[in-house]
Structures are given as structure tokens and as C-alpha cells.
Structure 1
């Protein structure tokens, strides 16, 4: 039985076509070929403000440009985030997007005196596809700590899915042809699987 998959393309550059775009394309191709229903969110095509206060996050309105994206997250059974590693973390645009859509009343709701008592994304699974401009084993050394290997990797329910970082090889400042081809085949195969067994839960 096919799953509902949302691919969030988090590369901020609106014009150039980067490796993240190619990886997302292959993931989508693999998922659709296997019978899954796929939607995409292209962050570079969205125009939205950054949150600047707790009050805005708690009581402000979701920007109109993000309403459809939030609805797509609610629709999805499996979420895929594709982004480059910039300065040891996800790009600011992606972080700003997640802050906007993961508002109280959507990502969580108060229950029994606990403001985070009810999890709005309970039951969904997620995968991170992260590119980096250095060999994967060098990341924790250069960024002073294994917690920086992949954003989100220290979350106990995401760590196992982020631990598979591997070096694709480099040639002339770009991923080697052989390594990139293997990565694209791997991502396409992962897309065909339609998600992970582990899910967000209480």
C-alpha cells in the first residue's frame, strides 16, 4: 500500500540547480515508481518572514505563503527534508520555515496542563537527506563534536536515521561521478521504500 510522502527541498538558492535538487528528484522518482503519492515543497520559491519573538510564534498568524505547506505536512505520512550543510547546520531559510509551520496548535497542543501534551505529528516518519562539502568522517572533527554530524542526529528518534552519512568522493570541487551515481541510486531506492519503520510518537 502506497504512502503519502512530502519532500521538503531546503536548498535556499532559487535559480541554480544543485545536488540537493537532483537527489530530491531521484527520491521522488523512486517513490512514485513504487506507487507512493508524493508532494513537494520548494523553499526557495516561498516568500515568508522570519519569526522575531515568542509572542509572534505563539499567537501570530501563519503567513499565507506557508498555509499550503503546512497542509501538506498534515497530509503526509512520511516527511523528507533535503538540504545542504551550511556552517554546521541546516540553512537559515529551512530553520525559519520549520519555526513558522511548527506552531502551537499544529505541531503540538496543550493537554492536561502540559503545553506540549498532544503531539500533532504523531505517527509520521521522517528522513533527512543532507549534503556537505567535505568528507563525512571529517565533519565531527572540524565542527568540534559528533553532535554536529547531521542536524537532528542527536534527537533519539532521528539518530539512527542520520547515522548513515557516507563520503561520496570529490573531484574538482564537485562530487565524483561514480560516487554521485551511487548516491542517486541509493536515494531512489530509499524513496521506493516509502518511509521508515520508526515514527514520531509520545
Structure 2
């Protein structure tokens, strides 16, 4: 299976938990015999869309075209990011806006919506400071719902599974190793 790992942590000045989680997932995927590609959003010169016209008709930047090619190549995507202000960091959101444009992920033809990413699956891995159950049940997980339903789901990606990792500032080495082991297992299964 072809797996695309999207590292959505916007800070590349030092390794973070998101980087370690992505690496554990990649190790498992390699052990499972899967082909891998990676996109590290923090390494790209991301630009922001500023109008609906630019989104619909503008020329995507080179990195968005490369992302589109990688997404089409992939059977499964793993997207990892820290929860910031209830959702994905702005840099990752801008990457999705540039890369998942109308015409690429979907188009309307003869009054019908054609979803171009059908047959692909995804795993979201999201780290946060609060308890994940609090984010899920009290807040209703708005940031991951947006990505699961309105971005990936709307494009036809199914299933979109998620792993929410809360209380990361209190993560002990034993709990971290258990988490990395779980990520390796998910990578092996391409899940």
C-alpha cells in the first residue's frame, strides 16, 4: 500500500512529539512492506489564499501541485498535528486550502458532485494539552470534525480514523513508548 505521511507541526526548529509519532508510524509502515512518501508542512513556503476567486481559478503553487501528486499516489494518508486554538495550526490549514482545491478533490459536473479521492483512507493523529475526552465530548472536536468531514470526507476519503492524544505535557516515558508502539502497529496495518 502507498502511504503519505503529512507532518503538520508548523515548528521545524526542534523535534516535537508529532515528529516522533510520525517516525514511529513510518517505521511500522516500512516493517509492513508499505511504500512511503512524506510532506513536512513546516519546510514549505506556504502562502495563504485571500479570495474565493483565487481558490477556484488561481494557479496552485508548486508545493500544492507536488502535494496533489502525492495524494493521488497514496492509498492511505496519515496526518499528524498539534491542536492549536481548537483546530489544526494555520500553516497546515493553508496547506490544505492550497492543495485540496476545487477541481482536484471534487468537481461539479452536470449537477453532480464528483469526489476524486474516493477509495483512499486516512488517519489523523492529534496531540493536545487537554484531556482528549474533554476535547471530544465537551468541545465536540470541532477541529478534527472540520478535517474529517469538510475536507477529507467531502473529497471522498473514507474511512477517516483519528487518534487523539491528550495531556501531552504529562506524558511519561513509559506512556510515550506505549504510544509509539501503537503508532508502529497502525503503520504496519496502514490504518
TM range (shorter): 0.7 to 0.9
CA contact (8 A) 1:147 1:154 kept: no
- The aligned counterpart of 2:37 is 39
The superposition leaves residues 58-116 of structure 1 with CA deviations (integer Å, 9 ceiling, x where unpaired) of 000000232212110111010111000011101011111111111122101222123xx
Distance 1:122 1:159, change over 3 A: closer
1:200 is aligned to none
Q: Which residue in the other structure is 2:94 paired with? A: 96
> Which residue in the other structure is 2:12 paired with?
14
In 1: Cα distance, 2:106 partner to 2:94 partner: 18
> For residues 153 and 60 of structure 1, do their structure 2 counterparts lie closer, same or farther at Cα, with a shift above 3 Å needed?
closer
Structure-1 separation of matches of 2:68 and 2:9 = 18
Structure with greater helix percent: 2
Change (3 A) 1:155 1:64: closer
Moved over 3 A (4+): 147-160, 164-167
User: Which residue of structure 2 lines up, in the alignment, with residue 28 of structure 1?
Assistant: 26
**Corresponding pairs, count:** 185
Q: State how far apart, in whole Å, the 2-side matches of 1:53 and 1:152 are.
A: 20
Pairwise CA distance, 1:153: 7.6
Query: Contact 2:135 / 2:141 at 8 angstroms: preserved in 1?
Result: no
TM-score by length of 2: 0.87
- Structure 2 residue ranges without an equivalent (≥5): none
Conserved? CA contact 2:78–2:125, under 8 Å: yes
CA change 1:184–1:92 in 2 (3 A) is same
Match of 2:171 in 1: 175
Aligned to 1:4: 2
**1:161 alignment counterpart:** 161
Residue 175 of structure 1 deviates from its aligned partner by: 1.7
1:94–1:153 distance in 2 versus 1, CA, 3 Å: closer
Aligned counterpart, 2:61: 63
Point out the structure with max Rg over C-alpha.
1
